[in-house]
Structure 1
Amino acid sequence: MKIIKWGIIGCGNVTEVKSGPAFQKAPNSALVAVMRRDAALAEDYAKRHNVPKWYSNAEDLINDPEVDAVYIATPPSSHKEYTILCAKAGKPVYVEKPMALTFEECNEMISVCKEHNVPLFVAYYRRSLPRFLKIKELIDGGKIGTIRHVNCVLYHPFETRYDDEINLPWTVLPHISGGGIFVDLACHTLDFLDFVLGPIKSVRGHATSQLKAYPAEDSVSMSFLFENGIHGSGLWNFTSFERYDNAEIVGDKGKISFSTFGNDPIHIQYANGEKESITIENPLHIQQPFIETVIAELLGEGVSPSKGTSGSRTTWVIDEVLKEFREASK
């Protein structure tokens, strides 16, 4: 059986536990090279994770003949650049979420990969997690009847690390991340809804900066309509007094409630008043189930559920709701 040999561009925090070790533990997979612009940090990562090669230049990794496929784990501002370089080198691409800074960039990535006959996968790994597959199974099996509407709420307190205007995290710098914490976190929920309920066709909403602590938005409210007629609403706020994470999918025979993050139980409430809870914990290397689907597709043994086309749809939704805020911030 062929082994897919991976290279990672951007071996930062997300690759320490969530994704990096999965390339070593998944069947028919090996992690053979990593890259980070800081050579010392690249070398340190390679030594700690027993990776044979390390680089400080992305093109050197991409052009390494031993690297079959590339995982791009950098901030979104460089996703397009590295995806295009990989595509032109004939290397399959697995890119972190959100897929790119804008829907336009996503389309460029899709086009170049198609031109070079290179598959493009996006790290919306909840599409392969058992906990979320159970939710999809319940919905597809008609447990709560015909779906009518969804509602998503996520709020966090303001964190002191955003007090330092000189050293703000890149996740709240729109030229690097595409937006704020909303972009970083809400994309997971929006993509899962796309997976379970189908594409969103219309978006209306508001984005503001209530605290004005950083350049990005800190509060977003939106309503959306799916192609199949299901209605949706959502609120994301990062200036609140506590943490709260809940999404509800409501049908004509019941509803399913769940959190996007963490291992909270899935709650089901039926029209007759009965209630049910299901607990399914996420794996330690949370991206591994999805990475295994990518490897299976590359080996011609399966199909991965998150590609450039679906990943770009979530970026389109984000673009639509942030459109006015971005214009006003110019």
Structure 2
Amino acid sequence: MGAAAAYPVMMDEIKWGIIGCGNVTEVKSGPAFNKVPNSRLVAVMRRDGELAADYAHRHGVPRWYDDADALINDPDVNAVYIATPPGSHTDYAIRALRAGKPVYVEKPMARNAAECEAMNQVSRETGVPLFVAYYRRSLDYFLKVKELIDQKVIGDIRFVDIHLHTQPYAEEVGEDARPRWRVFPEISGGGHFHDLAAHQFDFLEFALGPIKTAHGLARNQAGLYQADDIVVANFEFESGVLGLGSWCFTVSKEQRIDEAYLLGSQGKITFSFFEKFDIKVETAAGTETYTIPYPQHVQQPIIEAIVNELRGEGKSPSTGESGARSNLIMDWITAK
């Protein structure tokens, strides 16, 4: 990240404020802020004050706001978690960074690579750290995949193949369809591809190194909303590893698939990015399966790493600089 190392003040206790206490914060992230040592959730904000108050009451949070600046300027808040849709990430992050508050922002980091760079530029200028919620970098399941790669259990990696095919969300079909923000590009940057492939490309770079080129086709086939609903891509890592991917969000439930595999010179690793907890390793010696469930609060390990960095006791594996890479790759693929 660059800026984090230059941050001049090591904190004793990290006192978090959340901007956008919506669904993602109910289980995945919100409770973790109070479960990590030396960390507390002290304030939440949502534009609908009643919903903010309800969240605060249910989660035992001392204060709530319906104005982001009020939370950012709360003297008891010394770090800000931004969990709004991507369209507002850049604005809120820059406001918090300029106020001297380290920022942890949801993924995708922003709508496009240019917005990510604007955030990183302010982090570099101010020396205030910026982190991104690419929590797979800290989950035991994905750390096991990386360990298998690093140990060359299947030899040298030659090829990566990703398939994510799923049925439309219930609110996207029928006469009364009311698609949510993820499929409005002006809010999300794209469609479900931008929301989900962001995780995939971030982990692949974490495990295999930088992707140097990526090309693709993105189309809307079903007409359920304005965003692309199918994407195909090929990509190449600086190491020479090649990759293919396909993402389709309008198939039947029976055709649903969430699978990735790594083909090596001496075997194959098959795993899932979102739904399954098994990792299958196939080599000449046979097949071995590892089953590693996610923790109750999937963001807790990465939040703990961020807290440790802010206390001068470690490093977060996900930063603003690394987080921007997924947006850049998706921009290449969708030709933005």
* TM-score, scaled to structure 1: 0.96
1:298 lines up with 2:310 in the alignment: yes
Moved more, 294-303 or 260-269: 260-269
SS at match of 1:275: strand
SS state of the match for residue 101, structure 1?
coil
2:292: which partner in 1?
280
Task: Confirm whether residue 229 of structure 1 aligns to residue 221 of structure 2.
Answer: no
Q: CA deviation at 1:249?
A: 1.1
Q: Give the alignment partner of residue 78 of structure 1, picking from 50, 75, 88.
A: 88
Residue in 2 that maps onto 1:58: 68
Deviations 1:229-263 (A, max 9, x none): 11000000011123210011111011111000124
CA distance, structure 2, for counterparts of residue 268 and residue 71 of structure 1:
37
> For residues 246 and 294 of structure 1, what CA distance do their matches in structure 2 show?
29
Q: The residue matched to 2:231 in structure 1 has which SS? A: strand
- Does 2:162 align with 1:167? no
Which one of the candidate residues 132, 135, 139 is aligned to 1:122? Answer: 132
Q: Which of 174, 177, 185 is residue 196 of structure 2 equivalent to?
A: 185
Computed over aligned residues only, the root mean square deviation of the Cα atoms, in angstroms, reads 1.2
Does 2:319 correspond to 1:307?
A: yes
Separation of aligned partners in 1, 2:41 and 2:277? 32
Q: Distance in 2 between matches of 1:149 and 1:177?
A: 30
Partner of 1:208: 219
Instruction: For residue 113 of structure 1, report the CA deviation from its aligned partner.
Output: 1.0
Q: Structure 2: how far apart are the matches of 1:282 and 1:240?
A: 27
Where 2:240 maps in the other structure, the secondary structure is coil
Match of 2:4 in 1: none
The Cα shift of 1:316 comes to 0.4
Counterparts of residues 1-16 of structure 1 (less than 5 Å): 2-16=12-26
* 1:160 to partner: Cα distance: 3.1
Aligned match for 1:151, one of 156, 161, 183 = 161
Structure 2: 5+ residue runs without aligned partners?
Answer: 1-10
**TM-score, with length taken from structure 2:** 0.94
Deviation at 1:273, TM superposition (A): 5.5
Distance 1:145 1:182 in 2: 30
**Partner Cα separation in structure 2 for residue 165 and residue 225 of structure 1:** 42
| Aligned AA (1:259) | S
Distance 1:165 1:123 in 2: 33
Q: What per-residue deviation string (whole Å, max 9, x for no partner) do you get for residues 115-151 of structure 1?
A: 1111000000000000100111111011111111100
Counterpart-to-counterpart distance in 2, 1:152 and 1:273:
25
How far 1:50 moved relative to its partner?
Answer: 0.2
**Percent sequence identity over matched residues?**
55
Q: Cα gap change, 1:20/1:59 in structure 2, threshold over 3 Å: closer, same or farther? A: same
Is the Cα contact below 8 Å between 2:258 and 2:275 reproduced in 1?
no
Contact 1:263/1:280 (8 A) holds in 2? no
1:180-231: CA deviation from partner (whole Å, max 9, x where unpaired): 1111111111110010001111011100011011010000000000111110
